[in-house]
Amino acid sequence: MEKLDRLVGAIQEEDRRLRELLPQFPPDRREKAGTGGTLSVKETLGHLAFWDSFAVLFFERKLRGDRTDDGGAIDFEQRNRQEIKRLRSLPWLDVLERYDDATLRLAQFLRAHWADLSDRERNDFATPLRHRRHHRLLLQRTLGEWRPPARAAQQAGTA
């Protein structure tokens, strides 16, 4: 159970850190991508919600003994792109709610089914943690790109 508690705690910590970033994005910047094609904040939340929901559904099906091979990496990537495109038309709060639900379901699934998972499957759940961290760091970089350097900001204020 110690490993479960560490994993869920780390996922919750990444969630907390990501949430600290959200108010730093003004509403008019929530849907603006960063440089190099980085996802917008809204797209990032929707992408994480889709990804984590997919992981939970996949393992729920696997534990029930249902087929889990009805797709593949290519199909998953195509569905991910379609989901990002679809959520662009949704209101900000709807996307945030989807992210909240997916985060909650991920932690609930792990707590409810940890004993049912093999060691390999348990290790697979480090991937959503790394994935969240990766996107949080991209959002931090985007914020840094949008903020003027400290000296330039000071000079602009005194000029």
Least confident of 30-34, 69-73, 146-150: 69-73
At 67 the pLDDT is 75
SS3 string, the chain, reads: CHHHHHHHHHHHHHHHHHHHHHHHCCHHHCCCCCHHHCCCHHHHHHHHHHHHHHHHHHHHHHHHCCCCCCCCHHHHHHHHHHHHHHHCCCCHHHHHHHHHHHHHHHHHHHHHHHHHCCHHHHHHCHHHHHHHHHHHHHHHHHHHHHCCCHHHHHHHHHC
Which CATH class name applies to 2-158? mainly alpha
Q: Distance between the two ends of the chain, CA-based, in angstroms?
A: 59
Model pLDDT for residues 48-84, shown as the tens digit of each residue: 999 999 999 999 999 998 876 665 555 878 888 899 8
Model pLDDT for residues 97-140, shown as the tens digit of each residue: 999 999 999 999 999 999 999 999 999 999 999 999 999 999 99
Q: How confident is the model at residue 35 (pLDDT cuts 50, 70, 90)?
A: confident
At 80 the pLDDT is 85
At 37 the pLDDT is 82
Tokens of 80: 């991910």
Tokens of 73: 């990496």
Domain range list for the chain: 2-158
* CA–CA distances in Å: residue 147 to residues 20, 35, 127, 131, 143: 16, 13, 31, 25, 6
Q: How confident is the model at residue 36 (pLDDT cuts 50, 70, 90)?
A: confident
At 155 the pLDDT is 52
Tokens of 49: 């919600």
Phi-psi region of 32 (alpha: psi -120 to 50; beta: other; left: phi over 0): beta
At 152 the pLDDT is 46
